[in-house]
């Protein structure tokens, strides 16, 4: 069930953004080393500039685990990210989300009940002891625990191919969720044939497949997707190449296979940042990922021409719920000893989820 955000008083919502940021900085100074603010790359700039550490979801969760002095860890991201931080930190530190309704639609496309039902159906047509579950880090703690308890692993967009190769070496097939496209792109990169990749459609018996299709499959893909990265396609890439013959196209692997195949490069947010940073002055880019990161790269690299690949805004609306107003409201409460918007993962779920996260780190 989606948690409900407490009402944020109007005084915060009506305050000028510049004043909000100044007040956040004052609270940060007051709270000192007991406060750590983490900012995801897709955050709006006014929030991003208030972060002590920035990065992708797992990088930030690991930084939280290593920050021994921090008592309050504020994750400017979405719900599953804060869950991962809580799983990887000890009981002495508390994790908070500035807006409780900042979730991930893709993560919500795979509930633990749905996955458990699919697993039971799968057991009716094959030996599930030979099926290795893999979940993208963009998933709930409950899904991570389900995977961890069944010998599987978490993956990120930067190491998905390595984790899928590990899974295939351990069993006859793997079941990947929740993102169909990261799973397909990674499987294709490993040389898995089209007829060995099966889409499991939610709500349909055997995911809409026959027992014969399941028997032949090496990779089963849950039919989840990222609404933002579905905005990019191969046609857009072709149009940019006509307009800018020297353009380089880089795209996130949550995009569909046609777009990823047409791009020059694909990679995680960190890989996209590195590619632009390491490119020559004067280079021209079209980037297929969330608009806040693209705009930030454009501002940081005025010597390069940087475009958003799609003509649409490509803004993550749930990430956008974290604003300077909600961040300041949270910090004011923490300064007063009110632990609002704390994210906690039940110990029995955290134990299984940490197994899956630890396996990934071992891989």
The domain total for the chain is: 3
pLDDT of residue 61: 81
* Pair (21, 94) in one structural domain: yes
pLDDT of residue 115: 98
pLDDT of residue 281: 97
Question: What are the helix (H) ranges across 53-208?
Answer: 57-66, 79-88, 105-108, 112-123, 141-149, 160-170, 180-189
pLDDT of residue 103: 95
If residue 248 lies in a helix (H) or strand (E), which one and from where to where?
strand 248-251
DSSP annotation of 138 reads S
Determine the average pLDDT of the residues in 34-54: 96
* Pair (278, 325) in one structural domain: no
pLDDT of residue 1: 64
Question: If you search the block for the tokens 């309050």, which residue do you land on?
Answer: 72
* Pair (27, 96) in one structural domain: yes
What share of the chain has pLDDT > 90, as a percent? 93
* CATH classification at residue 289: 3.40.50.10800
pLDDT tens track for 141-155: 999 999 999 999 999
pLDDT of residue 342: 98
What share of the chain has pLDDT > 70, as a percent? 99
Q: ∠ CA(130), CA(215), CA(162), 5° rounding?
A: 50
pLDDT tens track for 296-307: 999 999 999 999
* Pair (179, 113) in one structural domain: yes
pLDDT tens track for 220-255: 999 999 999 999 999 999 999 999 999 999 999 999
* Pair (213, 263) in one structural domain: no
* Pair (125, 97) in one structural domain: no
Determine the average pLDDT of the residues in 277-298: 98
Rounded Cα distance, 57 and 65, in Å: 13
Say what the pTM is.
Answer: 0.95
* Pair (221, 233) in one structural domain: no
Label residue 219 by pLDDT band (50, 70, 90). Answer: very high
Share the mean pLDDT of the chain: 96
Label residue 177 by pLDDT band (50, 70, 90). Answer: very high
* Pair (216, 122) in one structural domain: yes
Rounded Cα distance, 113 and 89, in Å: 26
Q: For residue 218, is it within any domain? A: yes
Domain that holds residue 96: 10-102+318-345
Rounded Cα distance, 144 and 165, in Å: 19
Determine the average pLDDT of the residues in 336-347: 97
Q: For residue 355, is it within any domain? A: no
pLDDT of residue 67: 84
């Amino acid at each position: 069930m989606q948690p409900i955000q407490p009402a944020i008083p109007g005084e915060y919502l009506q305050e000028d953004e510049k004043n909000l940021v100044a007040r956040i900085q004052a609270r940060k100074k007051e709270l000192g080393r007991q406060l750590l603010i983490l900012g995801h790359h897709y955050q709006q700039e006014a929030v991003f500039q208030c972060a002590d550490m920035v990065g992708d979801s797992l990088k930030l969760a690991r930084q939280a685990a290593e920050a021994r002095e921090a008592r309050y860890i504020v994750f400017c991201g979405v719900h599953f990210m804060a869950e991962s931080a809580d799983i990887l930190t000890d009981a002495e530190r508390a994790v908070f989300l500035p807006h409780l309704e900042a979730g991930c639609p893709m993560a919500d496309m795979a509930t633990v009940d749905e996955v458990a039902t699919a697993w039971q159906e799968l057991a009716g047509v094959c030996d599930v002891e030979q099926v290795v579950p893999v979940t993208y880090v963009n998933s709930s703690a409950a899904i991570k625990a389900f995977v961890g308890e069944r010998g599987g692993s978490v993956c990120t967009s930067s190491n998905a191919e390595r984790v899928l190769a590990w899974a295939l070496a351990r069993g006859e097939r793997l079941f990947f969720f929740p993102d169909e496209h990261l799973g397909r792109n990674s499987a294709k990169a490993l040389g898995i044939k089209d007829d060995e990749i099966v889409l499991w459609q939610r709500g349909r018996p055997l995911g809409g497949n026959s027992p014969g299709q399941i028997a032949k499959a090496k990779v089963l893909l849950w039919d989840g997707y990222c609404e933002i990265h579905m905005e990019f396609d191969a046609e857009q890439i072709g149009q940019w190449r006509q307009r800018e013959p020297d353009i380089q196209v880089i795209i996130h692997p949550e995009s569909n296979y046609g777009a990823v195949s047409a791009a020059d490069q694909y990679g995680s947010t960190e890989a996209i940042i590195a590619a632009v940073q390491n490119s020559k002055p004067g280079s021209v880019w079209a980037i297929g990922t969330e608009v806040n990161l693209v705009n930030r790269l454009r501002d940081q690299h005025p010597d390069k021409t940087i475009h958003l690949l799609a003509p649409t805004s490509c803004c993550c609306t749930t990430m956008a719920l974290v604003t300077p107003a909600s961040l300041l409201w949270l910090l004011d409460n923490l300064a007063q000893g009110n632990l609002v918007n704390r994210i906690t993962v039940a110990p029995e779920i955290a134990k299984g989820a940490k197994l899956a996260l630890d396996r990934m780190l071992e891989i």
